[in-house]
Amino acid sequence: MVSSLDGFIAKKDGDVSWMQSTDVYEKGKVLTDQEVVDYLQAIDCYIMGSRTYAEALKLGWPYGDTPVYVWTSKDLSSKRENVTTFSGDLDSYLAHKLKPHFDNIWVVGGAQTAKTFLQKGLVDQIILTIVPILLGDGLLFFDYIGREILLHLADVTSYRDGMVELTYRIQKNRIFFS
């Protein structure tokens, strides 16, 4: 997930244009195209909610041909062969449909989806990239999840554009959240 320093993932109107940083941090890492490709190829499938799915379609679909599962109660149609919609019991779907076939499952975007996964204890890892901006208001990433979750810092990476990536582990399942 990408958020502002004050914890917002979008402005109140849904705008995410602020996610591109123009800051320069001289000591920061510069990602190569190959590093990005390798990173994305390690992901076996994605899970997202319907709002993130709609936003991804508007922004140009960054998920390629990797299988995508959209958890929604809405009747969505997709022209993409790699997109499957499902509803109902999340725990059962993960246990019976996804975990037997995929090792590296990523939940992407969406405060409500993140909240549900965290509340149910279905997350192994949180990767949070912080953009150097304070929005002051908007849609919170961690929207009152209602439980305490102890995190263990696994890695910190600072990037040339001023963004900082924090990787935290929760020792339980085989699902990652980004």
- pLDDT tens-digit readout, 101-145: 999 999 997 788 888 999 998 999 999 999 999 999 999 988 888
Element (H, E) at 90: helix 90-93
Average pLDDT over residues 143-160: 92
Residue 76's pLDDT is 82
Residue 60's pLDDT is 87
Tell me what the pLDDT averaged over the chain comes to: 90
**Which residues pair with residue 4 across a beta bridge?**
131
Alpha carbon of residue 175 to chain centroid: 11
Question: What are the tens digits of pLDDT across the range 34-66?
Answer: 998 999 999 999 999 998 898 888 888 989 999
What pLDDT band is residue 14 in, cutting at 50, 70 and 90?
confident
- Higher local confidence (pLDDT), 76 or 68: 68
Rounded-to-integer distance, Cα 108 and Cα 128, Å = 11
* pTM more than 0.95: no
Residue % of the chain over a pLDDT of 70: 96
Residue 173's pLDDT is 45
Task: Report the candidate in 5, 13, 10 with the shortest Cα–Cα distance to residue 112.
Answer: 10
Q: Count the neighbouring beta carbons within 10 Å of the beta carbon of residue 96.
A: 10
Average pLDDT over residues 63-88: 90
Q: Which two tokens stand for residue 47?
A: 């899970």
168-to-111, 149, 152, 154 alpha-carbon distances in Å: 18, 11, 5, 5
Indicate if the pLDDT at residue 176 is higher than 60: no
Residue 178's pLDDT is 56
Residue type at position 160: R
Residue 1's pLDDT is 87
Element (H, E) at 37: helix 33-41
